[in-house]
Amino acid sequence: MVKIGSIEVGKYPLLLAPMEDVSDPPFRILCKEQGADVVYTEFISSEGLIRSAAKSMEKLDIYDEERPVGIQIFGNEIESMRISAQIVEQAQPEILDINYGCPVNKVACKGAGAGILLDIDKMESLTREIVNSTSLPVTVKTRLGWDEKTIRIVEVALRLQDAGIKALSIHGRTRAQMYKGEADWTLIQEAASHPDIEIPIFGNGDVDTPEKAAEMRRLYPDVKGIMIGRASIGNPWIFNQVKHYLNTGEHLAEPSVVEKVDICRRHLMMSVRWKEEYVGIREMRRHYPAYFRGVPGFKPLRMQLVTSESLQEILDTLSYIEEAYGDQEEVASRQVAEKIMKVEAIRTRPQVKKKLQIPVRSEG
Ligand SMILES: Cc1cc2nc3c(=O)[nH]c(=O)nc-3n(C[C@H](O)[C@H](O)[C@H](O)COP(=O)(O)O)c2cc1C
């Protein structure tokens, strides 16, 4: 059983990655429901938290249905990070996560996020301060290094463990790579297999199918679990699909359009309840294309979903999709059933023919 501090998170945990503007409470609840073992909030600015900025404070909202949950913070000032850790503790998550991986200029170039990979001494002392200022287990999410010349991930893992963190998630890219190229898990394995490493190390980057997850587990056996980001967008059931495949070697069926509509509708309703109608409707717009990717002839309906201003209109469109595509699915499955019957008939036909032909021949 893998543990983050004293929290048991499963034999081979699947974690929902922190994602700005995506990993909000409705999405986290759905991912939890669909098999994620641990979920993380998007990153929250420590400067925003200490100013009690409304936008940052609202990101602290967590719900029982999503536990265990980690709240992620970022910043480069020791004092702001220390105070933020205490604010986070009051929100009562299970875990406090520090972001040392964000590559965007406005964060990394100020020495926060992945920027701190250029100053590992500061990374270690900042982490130690945070660990000492909270009773929550502290975890870190980071990248392999700033660029390929500065990869010191094994040393980073050892020093962060020494500073007191309870788990480390590593995205297998450098800051310079942003999201380009392929994530390199061999370096994640190198850190995870170091004889002095005792904390769980989770691998992150490019896992988007059950097969890929199985391959990562096979190739990198000391990595204790997988963090999934982009592949969960519009696809929260990926956690159950991966889990089922890892446990049985068999695939769970892809949800039908009717099932997708059901999850999407609940996502919408939770967003509207959480953020109020105006914002909830707008925040859901980024999810519809992903929920219905690959559904034939969907373009006009997608346009309707992403431009509609009225909740009722969106709900009506979803009901329409359910009816239109649900019927198609029924028709499709009827066609499949008919095809199977035809195949059965074809298989049995030669015998029938034989029986029929014998008397014909003998008559002739
Ligand atoms: C839209 C988006 C927002 C992200 N926001 C965050 C964030 O707030 N904190 C963080 O640590 N990583 C963030 N990431 C990085 C992801 O957590 C993850 O490391 C990355 O997407 C690679 O994993 P994947 O290939 O499974 O998507 C974000 C990624 C995306 C695509």
**One domain for residues 205 and 231:** yes
**One domain for residues 186 and 220:** yes
Residue 335: other Cβ atoms inside 10 A:
10
Residue 353, in any domain of the structure? no
Query: Of 240, 236, 176, 174, nearest to 205 (Cα)?
Result: 174
**One domain for residues 175 and 52:** yes
Is the shortest distance between the CB of 291 and ligand 1 below 6 Å? no
Residue 360, in any domain of the structure? no
Residue 364 Cα to ligand 1 midpoint, Å, equals 78
**One domain for residues 150 and 180:** yes
pLDDT in tens, the chain (364 residues): 999 999 999 999 999 999 999 999 999 999 999 999 999 999 999 999 999 998 999 999 999 999 999 999 999 999 999 999 999 999 999 999 999 999 988 898 888 999 999 999 999 999 999 999 999 999 999 999 999 999 999 999 999 999 999 999 999 999 999 999 999 999 999 999 999 999 999 999 999 999 999 999 999 999 999 999 999 999 999 999 999 999 999 999 999 999 999 999 999 999 999 999 999 999 999 999 999 998 888 999 999 999 999 999 999 999 999 998 887 765 565 554 555 455 444 344 333 333 323 233 333 2
Output the pLDDT for position 84. 96
Residue 333 Cα to ligand 1 midpoint, Å, equals 37
Residue to probe by mutation, ligand 1, list 19, 95, 107, 144, most atoms within 8 Å of CB: 19
**Tens of pLDDT, residues 192-228:** 999 999 999 999 999 999 999 999 999 999 999 999 9
**One domain for residues 69 and 147:** yes
**One domain for residues 269 and 316:** yes
**One domain for residues 129 and 204:** yes
Range of the domain at 283: 257-339
Residue 200: give its domain's CATH number: 3.20.20.70
**One domain for residues 112 and 54:** yes
Residue 348 Cα to ligand 1 midpoint, Å, equals 55
State which of 225, 248, 271 marks the end of a domain: 248
Residue 359, in any domain of the structure? no
**One domain for residues 74 and 156:** yes
**One domain for residues 14 and 143:** yes
Is the shortest distance between the CB of 267 and ligand 1 below 6 Å? no
Residue 271, in any domain of the structure? yes
Is the shortest distance between the CB of 18 and ligand 1 below 6 Å? yes
Residue 198 Cα to ligand 1 midpoint, Å, equals 25
Output the pLDDT for position 108. 87
Residue 363, in any domain of the structure? no
Query: Of 57, 97, 107, nearest to 227 (Cα)?
Result: 97
pTM as predicted: 0.90
Distance of CA 140 to the CA centre of its chain: 16
**One domain for residues 270 and 135:** no
Is the shortest distance between the CB of 97 and ligand 1 below 6 Å? no
Total count of domains within the chain: 2
Distance of CA 158 to the CA centre of its chain: 26
Output the pLDDT for position 338. 54
31 part of the active site? no
**One domain for residues 74 and 30:** yes
Residue 169: other Cβ atoms inside 10 A:
26
